[in-house]
Structure 1
């Protein structure tokens, strides 16, 4: 099987899973966007994915992402930065990313603003909300009680456009339970920010739990691309 065929097979499988999850709760599968996370995979895979109809690609390490974007100039995909972000690298990320999904603290905003304004276009931003139990050490993200303040800061920052929320199910916690909590947080959030209606949640192992609880975007790596390369 060629690499193109492998990717096509993976994409078809993920799209079937999304469609089945949507059908379970009476949603249209077209409501759910697919971002393929290509961490550790080569730029040639991005080009093949674009040929296969993928419009959104995710990366979570700045150095790799910056190089891959340059290698894929002209491919025409939308680049999502989905990983933890250092404030000193925020401006550099904003120089190539179309979407930053991991905005989890106000310290990132000046750099993101500089990068976006220098580029001359608005940067779509998702605030990453933590689903970890209180006091737990786990994933990144702002606690739900800090969400309102950070969201207001994003909306007030030049060059940034608040599009919604992103979350990752905590390790060792039932994904369905975590995404139930996320759905409640998102519903409250939209009462204050009705146009910020993106909800990015769900990965290869738990996309069904996310989609059935309202995710508008899923971030999928291995289910499309296969196991990560051993040489990184």
Structure 2
């Protein structure tokens, strides 16, 4: 086993222990939480090593990095999640490799992504990104729709050809009433998820929590956590 593979294996084991411990503390089964490894800024060689170590869910946030990486790893049994803010001019590329887009936050994006998915003859899973720092009708600092816009946007996704409404995503906000209150933020997301599932029962995916706050997300009820640094190490600075 190479040094890098050993490093990744050890990091994965530590993250697995954290998730398992958080599940036990919350009275949840470990199988209720899926780990998504965020591979942004890291090479395809690391993705290959992660796949060999049993990782099946990986995430990227920039199409210009994700598209060639997904192509290079096309034969691997991986599900690719797009988690960054998505511009409409990138949807055709993203629709060609992503299995799930976690950053749906406006009607125009739904329309563009639907058209791209239909052209690619694929069905894309979609999560509504909820901005807990956004006022009514606005978008968040890091993307996302305000909570009162979730219902309308979810209905658009559910009705759009080529798209499948899977649930919700959030990033713990840096501003607003939930700044520094990750647990409260994730509990609020679960409340919004409960309302969404009343109208769309299959939309039960809740993606929340990262390296620093995955325990809070698991405690709140998240079904998926997005972990990058704790698995791959501190990210290199982008030039």
1:225 aligns with 2:206: no
1:152 aligns with 2:166: no
Between 80-89 and 167-176, the greater mean CA deviation after superposition: 167-176
Runs of 4+ more than 6 Å apart:
none
1:164 aligns with 2:164: no
TM (normalized to structure 2)?
0.93
- Aligned match of 1:186: 193
Cα distance between partner residues in 1 of 2:164 and 2:134: 29
Between 179-188 and 21-30, the greater mean CA deviation after superposition: 179-188
Please state how far the C-alpha of 1:192 moved relative to its aligned partner. Answer: 1.2
Cα RMSD over matched residues? 1.5
TM (normalized to structure 1)?
0.96
Q: Deviations over 1:131-177 (max 9, x none)?
A: 11638963311111111100000011100000000001001421111
Count residues with an aligned counterpart: 232
Q: Unaligned regions of 5+ residues in structure 2, if any?
A: none
- Aligned match of 1:126: 127
1:47 aligns with 2:48: yes
Please state how far the C-alpha of 1:119 moved relative to its aligned partner. Answer: 2.1
- Aligned match of 1:202: 209
State whether residues 85 and 142 of structure 2, in contact with CA within 8 Å, keep that contact through their aligned partners in structure 1.
no
Give secondary structure in 1 for the equivalent of 2:69.
helix
Between 135-144 and 220-229, the greater mean CA deviation after superposition: 135-144
Please state how far the C-alpha of 1:182 moved relative to its aligned partner. Answer: 1.1
Please state how far the C-alpha of 1:231 moved relative to its aligned partner. Answer: 5.0
- Aligned match of 1:14: 15
Q: Unaligned regions of 5+ residues in structure 1, if any?
A: none
Between 75-84 and 115-124, the greater mean CA deviation after superposition: 115-124
State whether residues 132 and 139 of structure 1, in contact with CA within 8 Å, keep that contact through their aligned partners in structure 2.
no
